[in-house]
Amino acid sequence: MPPSDPQETLRLRAQALRQKPAPVEQEGESLQALTFRLADELYGLETVHVREVVPLRSLVPVPCTPPFVLGLINLRGQILSVVDLRRIFGIPAGTIEGNNPVIVVQREGIEFGLLAESVLGIRSLRLETLQADLPTLGGVGAEFLRGVTAEGLILLDGLKLIGSAHLLVQEEVL
């Protein structure tokens, strides 16, 4: 029963508020990932590496570039290259439509676009639930893998993807 004296009630409340709360058991480290589709596979990329998502418009092909470089886009006066991850991962390339989304990624002054077939949204992923490898992803694509969820979402390592020497085009045409 609460005390009948209002001063005593306030004193008990103040005493209860001074108590340190019991530590809350944390579920583990998690991250936010933008999810998108390539072919029939579901991919994710941590949102800290995503600047924005824009529709593919006016793609200009660039001669003498590797097959994974689709071309250039003009994004509000900034020229960005657009990369097709399907070619890097060995996934059969589908058709490119005018409404395909381009995921603009950035890190330390490096920016480029990743072509997607569709963007599904943002999901919260718990890191301890990720499986470490994907047997069907090999070669260069395997180095970009951060993990796979139980539902089959392939989480890409944004730091490795953006900073990869495999995606730099430094060839000269003579």
Give the chain as a DSSP string: ---SSHHHHHHHHHHHHHSPPPPPPP---EEEEEEEEETTEEEEEEGGGEEEEEE----B--TT--TTEEEEEEETTEEEEEE-HHHHHTPPP----TT-EEEEEEETTEEEEEE-SEEEEEEEEEGGG-BS--TT--GGGGGGEEEE-TT--EEE-HHHHHT-GGG-------
> Which tens digit of pLDDT belongs to each residue from 118-127?
999 999 988 8
Q: Which pTM was predicted?
A: 0.76
Query: Which pLDDT belongs to residue 25?
Result: 44
Classify domain 30-164 by CATH architecture: Beta Barrel (2.40)
Query: Which pLDDT belongs to residue 24?
Result: 44
Compute the average pLDDT of residues 132-138.
58
> Which tens digit of pLDDT belongs to each residue from 22-31?
554 455 688 8
Q: What residues does each domain of the chain span? A: 30-164
